[in-house]
Amino acid sequence: MLARHLSRQLKLPNYSTFNAPEAQLEHPAGRVPYTEALTFLGGPTPEQRIPAYRTLTDASQELDAAQLPHPITQALGVKMYQAMASLQTLDTLCYEAQRQGRMSFYLTSTGEEATVVGSAAALDPQDMVFAQGRQMPIHYGSRELCYQTISSPLATQMPHAVGAAYAMKLSGASTVAVAFFGEGAASEGDAHAALQFAATLAAPVLFICRNNGYAISTPASEQYKGDGIAGRAAGYGMAAVRVDGGDARAVYNAVAEARRLALQGTRLPAGHRYRTADEMRAWRARDPVSRFRGWLQGRGWWDEMQEQALRVATRKEVMDALDAAAAVPKPPVSCLFTDVYKNMPGHLKAQMDETFELVKRHPELVPLGVPVA
């Protein structure tokens, strides 16, 4: 009686058929077969890894068997290349500006040009982007581009993206939210909460992990076990694809397809694995920008003259922007204290006076062009 009651409650199979070879367990996760083998699956070093999808060889040759559900037109290909080459120029000049002391901090996207441009190209202008930064002042934001201002604490952008996606779903919008993150950020609790909420709420959100093998000085080998970040998707009940992040055509196709499926009700985290820690030098030789340019040139969509003109124009654009930024008067040191309270509390006043004393004794601490008060 109790057994029959329990089996009805737990939806267990009828006990009389319990030992039949075809018997299956009605598990909360779905119907699963029984086994007499005591086998532990998975582990820190999986035997099989998710392969990396690519469409071009490193030498820019098209791979004939590559599945391309979203072909790239000449106009789009040229636009993508211009963005990738401009990003390279921006990186070079800003990196130099930082080394000359003209900027407080800068980090390049070297090697990630295809990942960021290829994925952005696959989005709708109304899709909401939640990107990851590393440190001010390179925490961009743009209302016009639906690009949320980057928040400094790692991985907080991931649950934000899920919330935005869920709101889109409830309002019946046909847009998606996109969370970009690094494999280091994927270790934060927020990352797991976001993946879990996204899966259970069926929110139209894409998780795009840029796995560049390092979180500052922590190598990926110390960051996680198992098959990377894309390998986690199965546990959350999400579909995932691993992409060669140096192949802009592959990234574009993967993100466009993920977006289509997400709007159909499937959630896809896209794991971009494109470099291991040991492949640093080899990766530098695999410049995604020249790889994509080689493909464009092979099709007759781009030539040397266009290349020269683009490089000169973007260089001028970045230099002009740097000069314009340098000409803006710097805020004084005192505004560290004056822009918080209307009436400054005593302890803050004491800190301000102490700071003034300090910079009087050590004027070299104040960056060039910054007034004290």
Ligand X SMILES: Cc1ncc(C[n+]2csc(CCOP(=O)(O)OP(=O)(O)O)c2C)c(N)n1
Which spans of this chain sit near ligand X (rule: CB under 6 A)? 134, 152-154, 182-185, 210, 212, 214-216
Beta strand pairing call for 214-215 and 218-219: antiparallel
Question: Smallest gap, in angstroms, from Cβ of residue 108 to ligand X?
Answer: 11
Of 207 and 302, the one with the shorter C-beta distance to ligand X is 207
- Residue 287's identity, in one-letter code, is D
Give phi and psi for 217, each to the nearest 5. -110, 5
Question: Smallest gap, in angstroms, from Cβ of residue 365 to ligand X?
Answer: 24
Question: Smallest gap, in angstroms, from Cβ of residue 257 to ligand X?
Answer: 24
Measure the CA–CA gap between 246 and 212, rounded to whole angstroms. Answer: 11
Question: Which residues, 6 or more positions from 48, have their beta carbon under 8 angstroms from its beta carbon?
Answer: none
Question: Smallest gap, in angstroms, from Cβ of residue 2 to ligand X?
Answer: 51
Residues in a beta bridge with 182: 210
Question: Smallest gap, in angstroms, from Cβ of residue 186 to ligand X?
Answer: 7
Question: Smallest gap, in angstroms, from Cβ of residue 131 to ligand X?
Answer: 10
Question: Smallest gap, in angstroms, from Cβ of residue 182 to ligand X?
Answer: 2
Measure the CA–CA gap between 252 and 119, rounded to whole angstroms. Answer: 5
Of 213 and 294, the one with the shorter C-beta distance to ligand X is 213
Measure the CA–CA gap between 76 and 71, rounded to whole angstroms. Answer: 10
Question: Smallest gap, in angstroms, from Cβ of residue 99 to ligand X?
Answer: 19
Q: What is the DSSP letter of 65?
A: T
Of 161 and 185, the one with the shorter C-beta distance to ligand X is 185
- Residue 155's identity, in one-letter code, is A
Do residues 240 and 233 make contact, with C-beta atoms less than 8 angstroms apart? yes
By beta carbon distance, the residue nearest ligand X is 182
Of 7 and 276, the one with the shorter C-beta distance to ligand X is 276
Of 204 and 269, the one with the shorter C-beta distance to ligand X is 269
Rg of the chain over CA atoms, in angstroms? Answer: 26
- Stated as kind and residue range, the H or E segment containing 302 is none
Of 281 and 347, the one with the shorter C-beta distance to ligand X is 281
Of 147 and 337, the one with the shorter C-beta distance to ligand X is 147
Measure the CA–CA gap between 366 and 372, rounded to whole angstroms. Answer: 8
C-alpha separations of 288 from 107, 138, 248, 295 in Å: 18, 22, 7, 11
Of 55 and 132, the one with the shorter C-beta distance to ligand X is 132
Measure the CA–CA gap between 77 and 270, rounded to whole angstroms. Answer: 22
- Stated as kind and residue range, the H or E segment containing 182 is strand 177-182
Of 136 and 319, the one with the shorter C-beta distance to ligand X is 136
Of 122 and 191, the one with the shorter C-beta distance to ligand X is 191
Question: Smallest gap, in angstroms, from Cβ of residue 88 to ligand X?
Answer: 17
Which tokens in the block code for residue 280?
């640093």
Question: Smallest gap, in angstroms, from Cβ of residue 224 to ligand X?
Answer: 11
Angle, helices 248-264/113-121, rounded to nearest 10 degrees: 40
Do residues 269 and 234 make contact, with C-beta atoms less than 8 angstroms apart? no
Question: Which residues, 6 or more positions from 94, have their beta carbon under 8 angstroms from its beta carbon?
Answer: 103, 106, 108, 318, 322
